[in-house]
Structure 1
Amino acid sequence: MSTKAKLSAVIITYNEVDYIKDCIESILFADEIIVVDSFSTDGTWEYLQNHPKITAIQHPFENFTKQKSYALSCAQYNWVYFFDADERVTPKLEKEIILTINNPTAKDAYWNYRTFMFKNKRLYFSGWQTDKVYRLFKKNSCEFINERIVHETLKVNGTEGILKEKLIHYSYKNYEDYKGKMLKYGQLKAKESFLKGKKWNVLQQYLRPTWKFFNHYIIRLGILDGAKGVTICYLNALGVYERFRELKKLQSE
């Protein structure tokens, strides 16, 4: 009789007190839950410490890739589901994950499509309709790519598959929160570009954000999302603008 596969759920957090409870509730089926917190100040850390099923660890944040690599090293089981505090595993996705890790012909890593939520309503277009990320994978076959310090991804030494069920993504809490997130991503992306030797120029500063907005709002049908589409497409474009503004600043230092 084969032994049931064990699963480590791994999450990184910083000031997620409004979202972390529902996140944890959705992954309680995992055999262990590892949460690495970068010194939250809003009550997130206290919640993590007091939860009986969570192994809570504090670790200083340098960039997303290093933080996730550290968190991954804390997992004791080979099968890992690595997701974010603003994401939720649905009951159908839970069943698929359990079936997958207990399948003897399972792949080494799986992409997970996501449903983007604008507050509590689904966003259907605006470039997010094909959004997918690595979430379920074997620890001994995968590692985070060091050169990517934001929008981190895995290097998979093996086979890949795609989960059928979608992960729910509550990325947009409110305007200021999402704006801050896009600006932070832009700054980290600028650092990544700078380390690769990429140079700022005025055409990129203005054309790339304009193209980002046009692509997501017109080509990828953000216009059909109404006012929500305008907001998301603008803020995503703002993140691109910030990337090149920050790159110019880094070059002048």
Structure 2
Amino acid sequence: MTLTPAPVSVLILTYNEEDNLPRCLDSVAWADDVLVVDSFSTDRTVEVARAHGARVLQRGFDTFAGQRNFGIDQGELRHDWVLHLDADEVVPSALRDELLDVARTGVKPAYRVASRMMFQGKWLRHAGMYPAYQVRYGRRDRLRFKQVGHGQREDLEPEDVGTLQHDLEHYSFSKGLHEWFAKHNCYSSDEAAEALGQSGDAIDWAALAAPDRTRRRRALKTLAARMPMRPSLRFFYMYVLRRGFLDGRAGLSYCRLLSTYEAMTVAKERELRLRQRGVSI
């Protein structure tokens, strides 16, 4: 099928993504405006991006929200609709068709999209918390991001966000477990600092039964942060209640990794509390 130039710009964040980037760029080859916002990679990321016809802007990394907003504001994007990706994500053809349709007929200023976590050659349908949504598609003049923990959220009201029916594919482990642990070591520090700052916030009990999945998930996360034995509970929730065991050996391995990540976060929260009290570490 031959497509006319799509009324969609694509913005991709990168840092040392020479291995992942070709697959990502190939999946958005239908877009005539692709901007890579690179955090001064030391590998061939910039060369790969330009070889695929993408434009490149470089900016020292501060936050994911900061990088995305910079790309929107400074990237001279050609189209009103912008798809935001990471280099380890892929846009399947069904999602591509939906994005193009929304760009022509969409009534909301932004849309959330689910992603399929890929691990050890398998889609983690259960352990991967599918469908976990992020707002990644929106109008250039309306969608901006704010940093929350180690990720970003849309700076819009819930009623301004629609939901796409098709999914991204997310190859979070494409660089190997060493890279995953390195990233989540940083993420756990961000999570610990965020949890400490929100320790006095009230739990949104009403959201636990709300039909909005994103709101419900955020309320569950706030509740979970107050509970004891969090690493064990995280494993039980993911492997048993979320039926991660149905994902086979890959599901078991992933649930163990998430339990380890939770343990790292808990330990860092305790360290921060001790430092606030002036206790030597």
TM category, shorter:
0.7 to 0.9
> What is the total number of aligned residue pairs between the two structures?
244
For 1:249, the equivalent position in structure 2 comes to: 271
**Distance change (3 Å), C-alpha of 1:192 and 1:73:** farther
For 2:180, the equivalent position in structure 1 comes to: 178
In structure 1, list runs of 5 or more residues that go unmatched.
none
For 2:203, the equivalent position in structure 1 comes to: none
Q: CA deviation at 1:143?
A: 1.6
Letter in 2 for 1:27: V
> For 1:205 and 1:18, how far apart are their aligned partners in 2?
39
**1:226 is the counterpart of 2:230:** no
> For 1:205 and 1:185, how far apart are their aligned partners in 2?
20
User: Secondary structure of the equivalent of 1:102?
Assistant: helix
For 2:44, the equivalent position in structure 1 comes to: 43
Runs of 4+ in 1 over 6 A off after TM superposition: 203-206
Letter in 1 for 2:152: E
Q: CA deviation at 1:73?
A: 2.0
Does the 8 Å contact 1:7/1:78 carry over to 2? yes
Does the 8 Å contact 1:114/1:131 carry over to 2? yes
Does the 8 Å contact 1:205/1:241 carry over to 2? no
User: Secondary structure of the equivalent of 1:92?
Assistant: helix
> For 1:247 and 1:205, how far apart are their aligned partners in 2?
13
> For 2:264 and 2:52, how far apart are their aligned partners in 1?
41
CA offset digits 1:35-64 (Å, max 9, x no partner): 11112223213322x326211111111222
User: Secondary structure of the equivalent of 1:152?
Assistant: strand
Q: CA deviation at 1:195?
A: 4.7
Of 63, 88, 91, the residue aligned with 2:90 is: 88
Aligned-residue CA RMSD (Å):
2.5
For 1:238, the equivalent position in structure 2 comes to: 260
**1:187 is the counterpart of 2:209:** no
Letter in 1 for 2:110: A
For 2:237, the equivalent position in structure 1 comes to: 215
CA offset digits 1:193-252 (Å, max 9, x no partner): 345567xxxx96961222111111110011111221121112122222222322333441
CA offset digits 1:72-95 (Å, max 9, x no partner): 323423311001111111112111
Does the 8 Å contact 1:182/1:236 carry over to 2? no
Letter in 2 for 1:84: D
User: Secondary structure of the equivalent of 1:184?
Assistant: helix
TM-score, normalised relative to structure 2: 0.78
User: Secondary structure of the equivalent of 1:189?
Assistant: helix
TM-score, normalised relative to structure 1: 0.86
Name the stretch that deviates more: 120-129 or 33-42. Answer: 120-129
